[in-house]
């Protein structure tokens, strides 16, 4: 198993990519603490993992709140003894062009997507130090690499912040054996993108813009995250893993 003996924390794990990662990590032998603000969905995922023979614990976690992060880390340490892996996956999307965008939307998306990653990283560093190293994976987006017509500028800015925050974390903690990499998914079929794939016209447009001609399944992103979390990626830090069906290759 690829994560045997590791303890992982995953944010935004109640559904979508975070839930796929929690399940996959548990299948690969990790002990997983995953948090979200959607408690009912999170508890369901926890039960599914237990039923499949994995070890995972759901906690309420609001990534914009420092105390909430500290309590998630405390739970991981008291239950499983340490923290080796953090996946900063929680995120929100806002769909509107620059002239429709509001300041409130900007603040909210930066709070969850960018500040949430900063707070999560800061919360786990002391435990990773104690463990003698660790792997942090930040879920950015292709929206952190290129501009897009129908995406709120705050979403692009927040994901760009995640991209460079990843490199700053990688450089600042490399000597302590803590690696940090970003993942940049293209369109993934989750609740976040439902307004795109549920509308036949929008879905067709996204599929046409994607060389592989479809949305990704959440597992197709989770496999990349699994690799970065594992010791197989022991010489990778500060890098950008693009999993986008070819969108940014054009």
Identified binder of ligand NAD from the candidate list 2, 29, 38, 95, rule CB under 6 A: 38
Look up residue 216 and give its DSSP letter: B
Residue 90 sits in the site that holds ligand NAD (CB under 6 A) = yes
Closest separation between CB of residue 244 and ligand NAD, Å? 8
Q: What x/- string results for residues 166 through 195 when contact with ligand NAD is judged by CB under 6 A?
A: -------------------x-xx-xxxx--
| The pair of three-digit structure tokens given for residue 5, joined into one six-digit string | 């003996």
Q: Is 57 helix (H, G, I), strand (E, B) or coil?
A: strand
Sign of the C-alpha dihedral, residues 167, 170, 175, 179?
Answer: negative
Q: Does residue 86 belong to the site contacting ligand NAD (CB under 6 A)?
A: no
In sequence order, the 6+-apart residues with CB closer than 8 A to the CB of 135 are 84, 85, 86, 178, 179, 180, 181, 228, 229, 230, 233
Contact (Cβ atoms closer than 8 angstroms) between residue 48 and residue 23: yes
For residues 152 and 148, give the distance between their C-alpha atoms in angstroms, rounded to a whole number. 9
- Number of residues written out for the chain: 250
> Does 245 engage in binding with ligand NAD (CB under 6 A)?
no
Does position 36 bind ligand NAD by CB under 6 A?
yes
Q: Is 223 a catalytic residue?
A: no
Least separation in angstroms between CB 211 and ligand NAD: 16
From the list 2, 44, 55, 64, which residue makes contact with ligand NAD (rule: CB under 6 A)?
64
Q: How far is the CB of 15 from ligand NAD (least distance, A)?
A: 4
Enumerate binding residues for ligand NAD (CB under 6 A).
11-12, 14-18, 36-38, 61-64, 89-93, 112, 139, 141, 185, 187-188, 190-193
């Amino acid at each position: 198993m690829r994560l045997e003996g590791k303890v992982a924390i995953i944010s935004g794990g109640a559904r979508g990519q975070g839930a796929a990662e929690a399940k996959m990590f548990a299948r690969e032998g990790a002990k997983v603490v995953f948090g979200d603000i959607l408690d009912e969905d999170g508890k369901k995922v926890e039960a599914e993992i237990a039923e499949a023979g994995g070890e995972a614990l759901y906690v309420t976690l609001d990534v914009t709140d420092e105390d909430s992060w500290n309590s998630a880390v405390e739970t991981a340490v008291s239950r499983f003894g340490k923290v080796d892996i953090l996946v900063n996956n929680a995120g929100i999307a806002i769909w509107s062009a620059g002239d429709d965008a509001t300041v409130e939307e900007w603040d909210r998306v930066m709070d969850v997507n960018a500040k949430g990653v900063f707070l999560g990283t800061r919360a786990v560093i002391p435990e990773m130090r104690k463990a003698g190293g660790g792997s942090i994976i930040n879920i950015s987006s292709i929206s952190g690499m290129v501009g897009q017509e129908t995406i709120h500028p705050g979403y692009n800015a927040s994901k760009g912040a995640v991209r460079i925050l990843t490199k700053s974390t990688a450089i600042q903690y490399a000597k302590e054996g803590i690696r940090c990499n970003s993942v940049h998914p293209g369109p993934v079929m989750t609740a976040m993108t439902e307004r795109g794939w549920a509308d036949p016209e929008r879905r067709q447009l996204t599929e046409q813009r994607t060389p592989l001609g479809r949305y990704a399944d959440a597992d197709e992103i989770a496999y990349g995250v699994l690799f970065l979390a594992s010791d197989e990626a022991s010489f990778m830090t500060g890098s950008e893993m693009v999993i986008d069906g070819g969108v940014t290759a054009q």
